[in-house]
Amino acid sequence: MEEASVSIRLNPFKGLEGPEGAPVPWSPYGRMLADRPVFTLDPLFHAGCYYVQDSSAMYVGHLFRKILDKKTVLRVLDLCAAPGGKTTDLAASLREACGDGFVLVANEVMKARVKILDDNVARWGDPNVVVTSVDPAAFAQLAGWFDIIVADVPCSGEGMFRKDPRAREEWSPAVVELCAQRQRRILADVWPALREGGWLLYSTCTYEPAENDDNLAWAAAELGGEILEPEAEFEEYGVRRTPHGHLLEAGVVPGEGQWAGALRKTAPQPAARKADLSVLHPLRQGLRKGELKGKDFVPDADYALSILFDRKDYNCVDVDRQTALHFLHRDALTLPQAAPGYNAVSYLGHPLGFVKNIGSRCNNLLPKDRRILMNV
């Protein structure tokens, strides 16, 4: 079986720096790499300059850009967001189209997966991304609040067989049926949160019509929507049209398996309720610069990673690759060029985090759970 390909997507708001590669046809910032570098040992990866994402998964971002309408404020929900590939793709597209005029809610119901989502959102650095961890039914409290809902739902995973042997072992017709029913429940639960005229972008990483075309047709008929007619795009690269969407099949396209389609909601607007995002108890919301502890204002580690980081706030110490890796290993550093107190550490001009210069050494303020575990 052919080996899985390797691809990345560059962050347009952090200078488009990262590994070189061939363009991904449907992603303006996607790159196909000739081989897999050790991403863990690349400081630019930790700085959020790029995200490692399968090229087929980037097709969801392409469809998103097709349905994206610029409004004064655009509200988008990425319903099943971990580990964060689609979230960061949506965030870049929204900021390019709307500037600061958007809110993107990235939700992951699985508590074990929400931490990696939050870390990846922090690295990407867009403060307009809100991270939540609630059941899809909880979004009914925000009736008609979202303009676009992206639902990359849990599925039977046929498109991951090449990459994940466990997916092959766990597959069965019964699993397909179970997934199809679960997907319908998820769509029905979140449907009230989508405004009339808003878009549902629905995707899976399986090839099963029951989980793909059939479920989108079910949503259109039962929930009230009009399916976006699939177009003949990128057929020369292996993208195939299905009755209601687009199929990317591993072995035909360089990446893994993906299916995606979209529909516009035609059902009447649900009665609006006086509610805001606080009802979802966000784990991340807005720009956090730091907090006052005693007489010290201690910078938040994520502020250094933010695209809104202001270099006038802290002395910035640009270091070489090896020193950057020692910082990411959470080692104590000696930085002669550091000013007394708090300093930002950067690599090739891209901030990685903070240290506190106490004279003889600099205390490393990188969060413990983000440290590199490999030997540097």
- Can you tell me the distance from the alpha carbon of 196 to that of 283, in angstroms, rounded to the nearest whole number? 28
- Can you tell me the distance from the alpha carbon of 88 to that of 99, in angstroms, rounded to the nearest whole number? 15
Strand partners, 241: 246
- Can you tell me the distance from the alpha carbon of 33 to that of 49, in angstroms, rounded to the nearest whole number? 16
Q: Beta strands 102-107 and 74-78: pairing type?
A: parallel
Closest listed residue to residue 333, CA positions, set 364, 298, 372: 364
Task: Show Cβ contacts of residue 279 under 8 Å, excluding neighbours closer than 6 positions.
Answer: 138, 141, 142
- Can you tell me the distance from the alpha carbon of 359 to that of 353, in angstroms, rounded to the nearest whole number? 19
| 61 burial via Cβ count (<10 Å: 0-12, 13-18, 19+) | buried
Q: Is the dihedral of CA 228, 232, 233, 237 positive or negative?
A: positive
Residues with catalytic function: 205
Q: Is the dihedral of CA 77, 66, 25, 42 positive or negative?
A: negative
Alpha-carbon Rg for the chain in angstroms: 22
Strand partners, 98: none
Closest listed residue to residue 304, CA positions, set 87, 52, 14: 14
State the distance between the two ends of the chain, measured CA to CA, in whole angstroms: 33
- Can you tell me the distance from the alpha carbon of 264 to that of 73, in angstroms, rounded to the nearest whole number? 19
Closest listed residue to residue 353, CA positions, set 373, 331, 376: 331
Cα 294 to chain centroid, rounded: 36
